[in-house]
C-alpha cells in the first residue's frame, strides 16, 4: 500500500500519519484495511476517468470513517444536530454516509465540500451523483477483496463506463435489500431509476 500524501488544502495540514490515526481510532483493523483498499481503487478510477485523484483518494480513505460509531451516538446526533428525524428509521448502513460526514467534520476537521459529498452519497447514492461520487460509490464495491458476481461485473464495467458500473451496484444493492426484507432508502430507488441505461 502506498503512503499517499494529500494537499494541505484538503486536509487542513494533517499528515498522512495523523489521518490514519483518526481512522484507526474509529475502525477495527479489517475495516481500516478496507478503507486503504478503497483509497487505492478510487485513485485508480480517478486516474482512468480523469477525475481529481487527490479528492478521490481522500474520500475513499475516509468513506467508512463512521461505520462503527455506536448507534446511540448516531441517534443523538440525528436528534440534536439538525438532521431529518425520519432518518431514525434507517440504520448505520445509511447513516455512515450522510451522518458520517458530521463525525468526519467534527472529529477530523475535513471540510472539502466535494470530498464530503462523495462520502455522503456512498451509502444511498443520489440521482445527481457526479463522476467523483460515482468513483467512491464504485471503488467501495470493486476493491480487490470483493469477489461476488455483481462485484466482478462492476469491476469489468468500470474499465470503460462508470455509469454502468454504478448501475450494476445499485441493482445489486436493491436486490439484496428486498430479498432480505430490509428497508430501502427512497433516494436509492430514485438513483437506480436515474442510472438505468438508455436504450438505443
Q: How far apart are CA 192 and CA 178, in angstroms?
A: 14
For residue 15, which of 108, 146, 120, 144 has the smallest C-alpha distance? Answer: 108
Instruction: Classify 112 as helix, strand or coil.
Output: coil
CB of 152 to Fe ion, least distance (A): 17
Q: Which of 39, 140, 151, 169 binds Fe ion (CB under 5 A)?
A: 140
Q: Does 169 bind Fe ion (CB under 5 A)?
A: no
| Rounded CA separation 126/74 (Å) | 21
User: In whole angstroms, what separates CA 190 from the centre of its chain?
Assistant: 18
Count of positions on this chain that bind Fe ion (CB under 5 A): 2
Please say which residue, 40 or 64, places its beta carbon nearer to Fe ion. 64
Instruction: Residue 136: name the closest of 191, 188, 59 by CA.
Output: 59
Report if residue 64 touches Fe ion, rule: CB under 5 A: yes
For position 112 contacting Fe ion by CB under 5 A, the verdict is no
- Contact flag: residue 120 with Fe ion (CB under 5 A): no
CB of 141 to Fe ion, least distance (A): 8
**Is residue 52 at the binding interface for Fe ion, with CB under 5 A as the rule?**
no
| Binding piece for Fe ion, criterion CB under 5 A, among 15-23, 59-67, 74-82, 152-160 | 59-67
Amino acid at each position: 500500500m502506498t503512503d499517499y500524501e494529500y494537499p494541505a488544502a484538503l486536509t487542513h495540514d494533517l499528515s498522512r500519519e495523523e489521518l490514519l490515526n483518526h481512522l484507526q481510532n474509529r475502525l477495527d483493523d479489517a475495516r481500516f484495511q478496507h478503507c486503504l483498499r478503497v483509497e487505492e481503487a478510487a485513485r485508480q478510477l480517478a486516474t482512468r476517468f480523469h477525475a481529481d485523484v487527490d479528492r478521490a483518494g481522500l474520500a475513499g480513505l475516509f468513506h467508512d470513517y463512521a461505520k462503527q460509531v455506536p448507534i446511540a451516538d448516531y441517534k443523538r446526533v440525528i436528534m440534536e444536530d439538525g438532521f431529518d428525524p425520519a432518518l431514525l428509521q434507517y440504520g448505520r448502513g445509511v447513516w455512515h454516509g450522510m451522518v458520517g460526514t458530521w463525525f468526519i467534520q467534527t472529529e477530523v476537521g475535513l471540510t472539502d465540500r466535494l470530498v464530503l459529498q462523495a462520502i455522503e452519497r456512498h451509502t444511498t447514492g443520489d440521482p445527481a451523483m457526479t463522476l467523483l461520487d460515482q468513483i467512491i460509490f464504485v471503488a467501495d464495491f470493486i476493491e480487490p477483496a470483493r469477489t461476488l458476481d455483481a462485484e466482478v461485473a462492476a469491476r469489468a464495467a468500470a474499465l470503460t463506463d462508470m455509469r454502468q458500473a454504478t448501475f450494476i451496484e445499485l441493482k445489486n444493492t436493491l436486490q439484496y435489500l428486498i430479498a432480505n426484507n430490509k428497508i430501502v432508502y427512497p433516494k436509492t430507488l430514485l438513483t437506480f431509476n436515474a442510472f438505468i441505461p438508455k436504450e438505443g
